[in-house]
Structure 1
């Protein structure tokens, strides 16, 4: 468990590939550290309770906390510690950032619930429960940013026509744009959620079978993973992105496979430096990997960048690829089982909704309007 030797003890940061039942997955090492009371409380809860929770419950808690951890690192916050004032200010700024994204009200509440859980596990001061100021700030921030109403709105679909518009208008001239285009196309093809995309590893992509293995999905309660289709054009984009990332821009020579800025294994889509020419260093066993991987805010910003570059007026978001892929399939006449397989849905309820939408567009009034060129 990583120890912070500053005046306040920070909460141990779980890594993104956790919930496997091993201590190392949670940043716990075999070194003989003198744990603080917060560390000991966290370790006791993890050993006795947390590691016994269902796989998806563990994954959800840790994914939410990792989003907060990345926010702290990128904004130079200490993280959660023994200072009530520090925790209150840190969480307040995090809520302010979340309210700038299209995350639904219930998603923000779930993330704050995860933070409250971790504070309780570590027995650290919890302003989410104790601070009247923070509770009112959260409530009013959500109202001001219309999160209650946005939670009932469906994402604007990214249709196949919009995907073609993006691919035709944007000629990538940097590693950043190569990565962004590959992400947009993969999310559309495989109907990926943002939290599924960030876990895609290079080993999960099969060029022979035109598939990507989704190893952790909200609808995959067994944790066995799901295979989704990937088009040949998207695979070509992924290859271009990998090839560009594996060239050192300073020497124009291939990077060594052990170079932490190269892609030979592990997480496929990573953060790009400010010059848009190289990836942030990434090592699978390194504790600072969260600085190199993407989070929801990063993916949201890249969707906005792509929309502007392609001249798309609709407010597309990371969920637009999944919704748009389903709508495009339904409009093309895909059956309900085909839709379920494409998006990994266990229940026919949601894909059935898209099928009904498509049926309206092919219905009697649609045919009448087309006949009379209305």
Structure 2
């Protein structure tokens, strides 16, 4: 199994280690590491590193050889791993992600993949997850930011600083376009088409082609973004509104939309639009703090996180009667599994017991 280095800056220079002795498989994995892995979003890289290392630890503790050219051996190895995962406190989605990472590695290494090709193993995984109640959602899961909760936030916050303008625009955009954190930090000013209310999303976990796809953006959010950009492009603390020079590196002419601010939050940090360095991007922790800051400012007690916008957008659409294809298009999902879950959740409010309770004013 692979062991990725913890320091991401050295990923490309270090050789991927596997326990398989066939040089052909090592070459395939190293080619993927050098040519593709380092181009993936950093959060995706970290997730793969964590998942691969956890499986490596499991194999070492159990004295297992790990993956080989033998299909039945790989099947037995994954089955044993599933047994361990299902008896752990890990959530359903975490287990599915870890198995997906292993399936990805088998494909990269060109090794027999029972996760895809074994009917026995697929059914074993599904039934094991059901038996161990892994489909139950964690009580600590992020609360969906529904459109009602978003309206509550927008009504409570009257932004009076560049920081609040940026934060509010970011949260609203994540709701409208059902964006993940790693997608919103890459949004550029040129990606917004005001005439068609469309946002071009270029980087996504489900966008294997790299061509990007379009998501909807509301007029309200476009207005928030325009206010944020206008505020950023004017000098702070001046009696007469004075626009920044067109060459001022703290001005937004194009490029990355949501940028880092000074400590006081009154101006953007200098940024070169011609150099899209990773240091210019907000990271997940920055986006997380934005959501927490917005919740505190609006006196929202619910546990909203960067994923709340994507989940809440989907739930709100489902409650409004959106079809599965409409949900998939809105959130860029390739599979109907997750949109189907949100539809099922929304249908609870329209079910027989809900109608009965309404009639009897319960």
TM-score for both structures, normalised by structure 2: 0.65
| Alignment RMSD | 3.3
The equivalent residue for 1:241 is 228
CA gap of 1:282–1:170, structure 2 versus 1, over 3 A, is same
Q: Greater Rg, structure 1 or structure 2?
A: 2
Matched, 1:59 2:46: no
Report the counterpart of residue 355 of structure 1 in structure 2.
Answer: 343
Is this contact kept in 2: 1:187–1:197, CA < 8 A?
A: yes
2:262 corresponds to 1:282: no
- Give, in whole Å, the separation in 2 of the partners of 1:60 and 1:39: 16
Give the whole-Å Cα distance in 1 for the aligned partners of 2:137 and 2:325: 29
1:253 pairs with 242, 250, 268, which one? 242
Gaps of 5+ in 2: 1-6, 17-26, 48-91, 102-135
Cα pair 2:168 2:224 within 8 Å, conserved: yes
The alpha-carbon deviation at position 275 of structure 1 amounts to: 1.5
Counterpart contact for 1:196–1:216, Cα < 8 Å: yes
Equivalent-residue separation in structure 2 for 1:244 and 1:227 (angstroms): 27
The answer to whether the 8 Å contact 2:41/2:182 transfers is: no
Specify the alignment match of 1:262 in structure 2: 251
Task: Say how many residue pairs are matched.
Answer: 263
Aligned counterparts, 1:116-135, within 5 A: none
C-alpha distance in structure 2 between counterparts of 1:196 and 1:233, whole Å:
20
Distance in 2 (CA, whole Å) between partners of 1:220 and 1:106 is 21
Whole-angstrom distance in 2 between the partners of 1:61 and 1:290: 10
In the alignment, the residues of structure 2 paired with residue 40 and residue 159 of structure 1 have an alpha-carbon distance, to the nearest angstrom, of 44
Q: How is 1:80-99 mapped onto 2 (pairs within 5 angstroms)?
A: none
Whether contact under 8 Å (1:13, 1:66) holds in the other structure is no
Question: For 1:366, which of 347, 351, 354 is the aligned residue?
Answer: 354
Matches within 5 A, 1:1-374: 13=9, 50-53=33-36, 57-60=37-40, 62=42, 154-249=141-236, 252-286=241-275, 289-374=277-362
Give the whole-Å Cα distance in 1 for the aligned partners of 2:336 and 2:321: 16
Q: Give the conservation status (yes or no) of the 8 Å contact 1:175–1:277.
A: yes
**Whole-angstrom CA distance in 2 between matches of 1:212 and 1:62:** 22
Q: 1:249 to 1:150 in 2, by over 3 A?
A: farther
What do the CA deviations read for 1:69-111 (whole angstroms, capped 9, x no partner)? xxxxxxxxxxxxxxxxxxxxxxxxxxxxxxxxxxx9959x99x
Instruction: Extract structure 1 runs of 4+ deviating beyond 3 A.
Output: 11-14, 38-42, 45-53, 61-67, 104-107, 149-154, 284-287, 289-292
Q: 1:264 to 1:326 in 2, by over 3 A?
A: same
Q: Is the 8 A contact 1:106 1:151 kept in 2?
A: no
* Structure 1 unaligned blocks of 5 or more: 1-10, 15-25, 27-37, 68-103, 114-148
